[in-house]
Amino acid sequence: MNAILIFGLFTIVAAYVAAPLIKKRDGATLVKNDDGFDDLETDKNNLLATIRELEFDYHTGKLSAADFEQLERDYRNRAVALIQKIEEIKNREMDDIEDQIRAYRQKLAERMFCKICGAKSNTDDKFCSQCGSPLNSS
């Protein structure tokens, strides 16, 4: 009996949490990244808001201590998992940016000096101004 009650509650809460997400996906998700980063942030904020609501319901006597503990633990675990995922994506994006900067710097460095005669050249020169040999363009 208790299990059914908890499941029913959980379903209601889950529907409540999911509803604004589904609504949002229909409209306003033409935003930047394709990695779903913004969606994760939204999910995280919704989970945290739900946890606050659970606390409110518990303190106002709408939820029993047992129900509150179980639901709160469940939502907290999900929030923690989401936060870890968000951190992973952030780290990955930082790595990408650092890789790009490194590649760009290397490209600049390679083109600064002619590999044949060592003369300095502008980064957008195609040929060495000193000896005329082609400079790395890739």
Applying CB under 5 A, the site for Zn ion has a residue count of 7
Task: Give the nearer residue to Zn ion in terms of CB position, either 52 or 120.
Answer: 120
Asked whether the beta carbons of 68 and 58 are under 8 A apart, the reply is yes
Among 131, 134, 136, 137, binds Zn ion (CB under 5 A): 131
In the DSSP assignment, the letter for residue 123 is: T
Smallest gap, in angstroms, from Cβ of residue 126 to Zn ion?
12
Residues between 63 and 82 with contacts to Zn ion, criterion CB under 5 A: none
Taking CB under 5 A as the criterion, the residue among 54, 63, 114, 135 binding Zn ion is 114
Among 49, 104, 117, 136, binds Zn ion (CB under 5 A): 117
**The binder of Zn ion chosen from 80, 94, 112, 116 (CB under 5 A):** 116
CB 10 within 8 A of CB 71: yes
The nearest distance, CB 104 to Zn ion, in angstroms, is 23
45-84 burial, b at 16+ Cβ within 10 Å, e below that, comes to: ebbeebbebbeebbeeeebeeebbeebbeebeebbeebee
Question: Considering the rule CB under 5 A, would residue 128 count as an interface residue with Zn ion?
Answer: yes
The DSSP secondary-structure symbol of 120 reads: B
| 8 Å CB contact between 16 and 46 | no
Residue ranges that bind Zn ion, judged by CB under 5 A = 114, 116-117, 119, 128, 130-131
